[in-house]
Structure 1
Amino acid sequence: MIDAGVNLSSSQFRHDFDAVVARAREAGVQSMMVIGCDEADSQEALTLAQQFNLYSCAGIHPHNAKDATDDFVANLTAMAQTKEVIAIGECGLDYNRDFSPRPQQRKIFSSQLVLANELNMPVYLHERDAHEDMLAMLREYQPRGVLHCFTGNRLQAQNYLDLGLYLGITGWVCDERRSGELNDALNVIPMDKLLVETDAPYLLPRTIRPKPKSRRCEPAHLPYVVAHLSEHYRVSKEQISALSVANFNTLFALEC
């Protein structure tokens, strides 16, 4: 398996990076995407990817759009020259919390879409409560990429699929309290457009048994996401794992 989204630079992992990565590999997670959310965090994600032989992305999350420096495009470009950085992001729009003004979010997102196209790199996308504006911008720039931590409904999934995007599925799908629309959306998501991710340390799968003492999610919990998808698509867990790895390699132009 490849975990297509881990916030390994989170302070929740700061005391045990090595153990977290070791447990992931013992669970069958051969690699992972370390997410960058601003310039400094993207550099830390790159450093961790280099340290543990992983992949990373470099970008400005919409929450942090207000803090982007005048040199952020040049800084992201420099990071993108390394072999570990395989996508621009996490970038996008978030109208749920509005930690950055919406016009600033759109401005910084637009710059990253332009950069990704100039570098011929995929984008690593984030969207919350901003579907229409997100679609309009994606239709304008036509990037390739993945909608990270997709939690939307069937129509939203189809809209993103129509743009050729992949969809990242997390432990949200295992949460019986709020996953109804997402599980319905799986009915229109073909397996060749799926990536699996934990978004660790967030979104601990509620299907873990026995229930863990800690609420911290780890990449080692990825098999629970795979197991849920296996049941939904009525194929083996091995097939879900293999397809998601192949999809990851295809999207990010990696050797299989």
Structure 2
Amino acid sequence: MTIDDHDHTVMKRILTDEANAPWCAAVGECGLDASEGFPPIDDQIPWFRKQVELAEELQLPLFVHERLAFEQTMDVLKTTTVPVIIHCFTGTQDQCRQYIDRGYFVSVSGFILKENADNCDEVRKCLSEGILPLERLMIETDSPYMGFTNCRQWYVEHNQELISSALNSKKRKRLVQSMYPNVPTSLLGVLDKVVECLQQHDQSITKDQVAAATTANAKSFFGFKFGE
């Protein structure tokens, strides 16, 4: 298969048309990942730069994925003027500070509920030590990924009739105990842990306050109009 300039023009027009559609809230998920199994970072960077250029051209926010590629990500983003969110943050306290200093939003997932994962304590400390302020915070599940113990608890509790009729006891037990695939309703567990961490820095913070603030941040960042 070959791709000529005409093909690139057509592809860009398709992307531009999609990005201008009312349902398009951001450019992404895009970014850099130096984890095992991914292409070399030097091969990823040109594509990431093009995605940033597209976001600039269309004036859409950037929904950024960064894994083990902090310096390269910061370099690509250094001149961008559109809003940026670092999705599913798994970095260090110092990296979080630098993201916040740039004015980026940082999103926290069920990663903070993993006891043995690399850097999970670092992410919790970003919350408990006031590094990640509420006005720059969002929360997410990253489902079906980033599962954690009991991530399906709310789903199971509220769908007992459906689950009981569709699955035998062994499959029900596996459904409850397995961490994958993660489910969107695990957001409640993420919220609880985020509140617990934030309260170590400020005991006056409430669950309702965090839920309202992170929802408002998401609505503002992505231009959502629900609830208005």
The answer to whether TM tops 0.5 is yes
> Looking at both structures, which has the greater relative contact order when contacts are Cα pairs under 8 Å and sequence separation is at least 6?
1
Rounded Cα–Cα distance in structure 1 between residues aligned with 2:188 and 2:19: 30
SS at match of 2:27: strand
The one-letter code of the counterpart of 1:253 is G
Per the alignment, residue 145 of structure 1 pairs with 84
Partner AA of 1:201 in structure 2: P
> Taking every aligned residue pair, what percent have the same amino acid on both sides?
31
Cα separation, 2, equivalents of 1:99 and 1:232: 32
Structure 2 partner of 1:242: 212
Does 2:189 align with 1:224? yes
Q: Report the 3-state secondary structure (helix = DSSP H, G, I; strand = E; otherwise coil) of the residue aligned with 2:32.
A: strand
Conserved 8 A contact 2:29-2:65? yes
What is the rounded CA distance, in whole Å, between the counterparts of 1:75 and 1:100 in structure 2?
A: 25
CA contact (8 A) 1:153 1:182 kept: yes
Q: Is structure 2 residue 156 aligned with structure 1 residue 204? A: no
Residue 98 of structure 1: how far off its partner (Å): 5.3
Q: Could you tell me whether the CA contact under 8 Å between 1:144 and 1:165 is conserved in 2?
A: yes
Structure 2 unaligned segments of length 5 or more: list them. 1-6, 154-172, 200-204
Higher radius of gyration, 1 or 2:
2
Equivalenced residue count is 188
Q: Please tell me the residue identity of whatever aligns with 1:195.
A: M
In structure 2, how many angstroms separate the alpha carbons of the residues matched to 1:233 and 1:79? 38
Please state whether the residue corresponding to 2:65 is helix, strand or coil: strand
Equivalent of residue 132 in structure 2, options 189, 193, 205 = 189
The verdict on how the C-alpha distance between 1:221 and 1:141 changes in structure 2, with shifts beyond 3 A counting, is: same
3-state DSSP of counterpart to 1:85:
coil
Cα separation, 1, equivalents of 2:113 and 2:223: 29
Q: TM-score, normalised by structure 2?
A: 0.76
Extract unaligned runs of 5+ from structure 1. 1-68
Superposition pairs of residues 1-16 of structure 1, within 5 angstroms: none
Task: Please say if residues 151 and 189 of structure 2, whose CA atoms lie closer than 8 Å, have aligned partners that are also in contact.
Answer: yes
> Matches of 1:110 and 1:94 in 2, distance apart?
14
Alpha carbons 1:149, 1:169 under 8 Å: kept: yes
TM-score by length of 1: 0.68
Does the 8 Å contact 2:152/2:183 carry over to 1?
no
RMSD: 2.0
CA shift at 1:182, angstroms? 0.9
Trace 1:9-158 onto structure 2 (pairs within 5 A).
Answer: 70=8, 71-97=10-36, 99-158=38-97
Which of structure 1's runs of 4+ aligned residues deviate more than 6 A?
A: none
Aligned residues of 1:194 and 1:244 also touching (Cα < 8 A)? yes
